[in-house]
Amino acid sequence: MKIRLKLISTYRELLPKGTQGNKIEIDVPEGTRVSDVMTQFNVPQDDSSVIVVNGLTVPLSTILVEDDEVTAFSAIAGG
Protein backbone atom coordinates (compact mmCIF):
# COMPACT_ATOMS: atom_id res chain seq x y z
CA MET A 1 0.00 0.00 0.00
CA LYS A 2 1.05 3.56 -0.54
CA ILE A 3 1.67 6.08 2.24
CA ARG A 4 3.28 9.50 2.30
CA LEU A 5 6.27 10.47 4.41
CA LYS A 6 6.90 14.13 5.18
CA LEU A 7 10.11 15.15 6.93
CA ILE A 8 10.23 18.81 7.93
CA SER A 9 13.13 21.24 8.13
CA THR A 10 16.41 19.58 9.21
CA TYR A 11 14.88 16.11 8.82
CA ARG A 12 14.49 16.71 5.08
CA GLU A 13 18.01 15.41 4.62
CA LEU A 14 16.87 11.96 5.77
CA LEU A 15 14.78 11.68 2.60
CA PRO A 16 16.36 9.97 -0.42
CA LYS A 17 18.95 12.08 -2.22
CA GLY A 18 17.46 14.20 -4.98
CA THR A 19 14.02 14.47 -3.36
CA GLN A 20 12.29 17.72 -4.25
CA GLY A 21 10.47 19.29 -1.31
CA ASN A 22 9.80 17.55 1.97
CA LYS A 23 7.46 14.73 1.01
CA ILE A 24 7.68 11.35 -0.74
CA GLU A 25 5.25 8.57 -1.46
CA ILE A 26 6.41 5.10 -0.48
CA ASP A 27 5.14 1.54 -0.78
CA VAL A 28 4.93 -0.36 2.49
CA PRO A 29 3.54 -3.81 3.32
CA GLU A 30 0.23 -4.20 5.14
CA GLY A 31 0.76 -4.17 8.89
CA THR A 32 3.57 -1.61 8.77
CA ARG A 33 3.83 0.42 11.96
CA VAL A 34 4.85 4.06 12.34
CA SER A 35 8.04 2.93 14.05
CA ASP A 36 8.98 0.72 11.07
CA VAL A 37 8.92 3.70 8.73
CA MET A 38 10.90 5.81 11.18
CA THR A 39 13.51 3.06 11.47
CA GLN A 40 13.73 2.74 7.69
CA PHE A 41 14.51 6.46 7.32
CA ASN A 42 16.72 6.77 10.42
CA VAL A 43 14.38 9.18 12.20
CA PRO A 44 15.18 9.26 15.94
CA GLN A 45 12.28 7.77 17.90
CA ASP A 46 13.00 9.34 21.28
CA ASP A 47 11.96 12.70 22.73
CA SER A 48 14.16 14.47 20.21
CA SER A 49 11.53 13.95 17.50
CA VAL A 50 7.88 14.84 17.07
CA ILE A 51 6.09 12.23 14.96
CA VAL A 52 2.44 12.52 13.89
CA VAL A 53 0.12 10.59 11.55
CA ASN A 54 -2.30 12.70 9.52
CA GLY A 55 -1.43 15.53 11.88
CA LEU A 56 -2.55 13.57 14.95
CA THR A 57 -0.59 12.43 17.99
CA VAL A 58 -0.54 8.61 17.98
CA PRO A 59 1.63 5.84 19.49
CA LEU A 60 4.59 4.74 17.38
CA SER A 61 3.13 1.23 17.39
CA THR A 62 0.13 2.43 15.35
CA ILE A 63 -0.44 0.31 12.23
CA LEU A 64 -0.61 2.45 9.11
CA VAL A 65 -3.33 2.24 6.49
CA GLU A 66 -3.39 3.18 2.81
CA ASP A 67 -2.94 6.91 2.14
CA ASP A 68 -1.73 7.79 5.65
CA GLU A 69 0.67 10.69 5.93
CA VAL A 70 3.45 10.33 8.50
CA THR A 71 5.26 13.53 9.45
CA ALA A 72 8.34 13.95 11.61
CA PHE A 73 10.44 16.89 12.72
CA SER A 74 13.06 17.63 15.30
CA ALA A 75 11.63 18.75 18.64
CA ILE A 76 12.80 22.29 19.19
CA ALA A 77 11.67 25.50 20.83
CA GLY A 78 9.23 27.26 18.58
CA GLY A 79 8.24 30.47 16.95
Partner 1 sequence: MNGWHGRILRVDLTNQTTSAEDIDPKIARDYLGGRGWAIRYLTDEVDPMVEPLDPENKLIFATGPLTATSAPTGNRYMVVTKSPLTGALAHSNSGGDFPTWMKRTGFDLFIFEGRAEKPVYLWVNEDEVEIRSAEHLWGQDVPSTTDALLAETNPKAKAACIGPAGENLVLMAAIMNDKDRAAARSGVGAVMGSKNLKGVVAYGRKNPVFAEEKKMRELSIKIAKEVGADMLAGSSLREHGTAYVPQVTNTLGILPTRNWQAGTFEGVDTIDGPTLTEKYLIKPKPCYRCPIACGRLTEVPDGPYAGKGEGPEYETISSFGSGCGVDNLAAITKANYWCNELGLDTISTGMTIAVAMEMFEKGYLSEEEIGQPLRFGDPDAMIDMVQKMAYREGFGNELAEGSYRFADKYGHPELAVTTRKQEFPGYDPRGSQGMGLLYATSNKGASHMEGDVAYEEVFGVPVKADPHSTDGKAELVKRFQDAFTLIDASGLCVFLAVRYVFSADRMIWPVRLSQLMEYTTGIAYTPKEVLEAADRVYTLERMFLLKAGSTEDTLPPRMLNEPLPDGPAKGQVNRLDDMLPEFYKERGWDENGWPTEEKLKELGLE
Number of residues that bind partner 1 (CB under 8 A): 24
Q: Quick one: which of 28, 34, 38, 73 contacts partner 1 (CB under 8 A)?
A: 73
Site track for partner 1 across 14-53, x = CB under 8 A: -------xx------------------------x-xx-x-
Dihedral (Cα; 74, 75, 76, 79), 10-degree rounding: 90
Of 54, 59, 63, 65, the residue at the interface with partner 1 (CB under 8 A) is 54
Contact 37, 53 (CB under 8 A): no
